[in-house]
């Protein structure tokens, strides 16, 4: 009996940790964990530090995260200061020198795309402003292609024995992703030119991709919750320039968009924002399937 139990325990471990994992990946957000999985397959073991139910701007540097960073070979994060409130603490507490800034084990997805909204003048009084530019690149699936290429190259650099494996998986991903992109873009055509109101100013890349037009954010400044006075201003703005619906990420407080939805008489659309944010966003492909479906639903209501 005892032997059986140990056998079962070992089987469980083998299931969650690939038997021949060469790289331990510490993924800051679920979308980068999912992309690491697409590229790394069974040669990497992935720990994803946050879930779609959490605000990636505001994560606690818990001991469990620190312990995982200590054994990681590479961190795969968004970068552009999205994790500025918690990753420096994790790096410091863990002493994880492999993940230190500038090391091959420090992978920041935003370094491989062109970032929008890089402020010419930094003023923290502008709220929780993203000083390095808008970091929320995963709202546009086109961003995944350059990041996937860079990630495969980085995995190959750290684990040369499997370089061909990572390159082959990247090529296969690129093929499947390009086909999916064409499908999403065609399906989303009715969204072109549609006015929307957004909770956090986090969707600029998606807006560019689909041709959505952001009328107004529901936060007075990025990261600052709206007062009732500010929401009244938003309603006024929406009277002058009506929006079809509001958008918020699944992890965000639903009250501001519910209030606007009720008073402006428009639907409130909840989007996954990342893998696992909603039930439909089960993997990287599901993230955009579900996002497009939910946006199109917003048009119908």
Binding track, positions 58-87, relative to Zn ion; x by CB under 5 A? ------------------------------
Work out how close the CB of 52 gets to Zn ion at its nearest, in angstroms, rounded to a whole number: 15
Q: 39: closest CA among 181, 177, 173, 180?
A: 173
Q: Which residue, 39 or 202, has its beta carbon nearer to Zn ion?
A: 202
Q: Specify whether the CB–CB gap between 169 and 41 falls below 8 A.
A: yes
Closest listed residue to residue 277, CA positions, set 25, 29, 26: 29
Rounded to the nearest whole angstrom, what is the least distance from the CB of residue 134 to Zn ion in the complex? Answer: 7
- What single DSSP character describes residue 215? E
From the CB of 13, what's the least distance to Zn ion, in Å? 37
The label of the residue with tokens 């292609």 reads: 145
> In the complex, what is the shortest distance from the CB of residue 244 to Zn ion, in angstroms, rounded to a whole number?
23
CB of 202 to Zn ion, least distance (A): 5
**Angle separating helix axes 163-187 and 144-158, nearest 10 degrees:** 170
Cβ-based neighbours of 55, under 8 Å, separated by 6 or more: 251, 252
Structure-token match 């491989």, residue found: 112
Residue number, 86 or 173, with CB nearest to Zn ion:
86
Angle among Cα 183, 185, 188 to the nearest 5 degrees reads: 105
Closest residue by beta carbon to Zn ion: 202
**Cα–Cα distance list, 108 to 16, 143, 216, 251 (Å):** 25, 13, 29, 22
Q: 203 or 245, CB closer to Zn ion?
A: 203
Q: Which of residues 160-219 bind Zn ion (CB under 5 A)?
A: 202
The answer to whether the CB of 28 falls within 8 A of the CB of 76 is yes
Total residues contacting Zn ion by CB under 5 A comes to 1
Rounded to a whole number of angstroms, the minimum distance from the CB of residue 57 to Zn ion is 6
Contact present, 181 and 287 (Cβ < 8 Å): no
Give, as ranges, the residues between 216 and 255 that touch Zn ion (CB under 5 A): none
Interaction site with Zn ion (CB under 5 A): 202
């Amino acid at each position: 009996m005892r032997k059986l139990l140990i056998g079962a325990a070992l089987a469980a471990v083998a299931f969650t940790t690939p038997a021949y994992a060469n790289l331990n990946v510490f993924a800051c957000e679920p979308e980068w964990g999912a992309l690491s999985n697409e590229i790394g397959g069974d040669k990497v073991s992935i720990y994803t530090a946050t879930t779609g139910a959490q605000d990636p701007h505001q994560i606690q540097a818990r001991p469990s995260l620190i312990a995982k960073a200590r054994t990681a070979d590479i961190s795969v994060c968004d970068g552009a200061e999205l994790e500025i409130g918690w990753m420096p603490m994790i790096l410091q507490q863990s002493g994880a020198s492999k993940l230190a800034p500038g090391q091959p084990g420090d992978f920041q997805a935003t370094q491989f795309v062109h970032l929008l909204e890089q402020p010419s003048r930094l003023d923290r009084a502008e709220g929780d402003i993203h000083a390095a530019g808008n970091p929320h690149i995963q709202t546009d699936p086109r961003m995944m292609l350059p990041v996937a290429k860079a990630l495969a190259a980085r995995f190959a650099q750290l684990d040369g024995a499997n370089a061909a494996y990572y390159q082959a998986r990247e090529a296969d991903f690129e093929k499947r992703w390009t086909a999916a992109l064409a499908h999403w873009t065609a399906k989303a055509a009715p969204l072109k030119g549609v006015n929307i109101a957004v909770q956090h100013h986090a969707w600029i890349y998606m807006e560019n991709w689909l041709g959505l037009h952001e009328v107004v954010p529901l936060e007075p400044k990025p990261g600052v919750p709206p007062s009732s006075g500010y929401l009244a201003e938003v309603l006024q703005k929406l009277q002058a320039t009506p929006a079809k619906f509001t958008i918020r990420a699944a992890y965000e407080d639903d009250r501001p968009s519910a209030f606007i939805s009720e008073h402006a008489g428009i639907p409130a659309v909840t989007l996954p924002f990342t893998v696992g944010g909603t039930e439909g966003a089960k993997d990287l492909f599901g993230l955009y399937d579900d996002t497009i479906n939910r946006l199109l639903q917003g048009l119908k209501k």
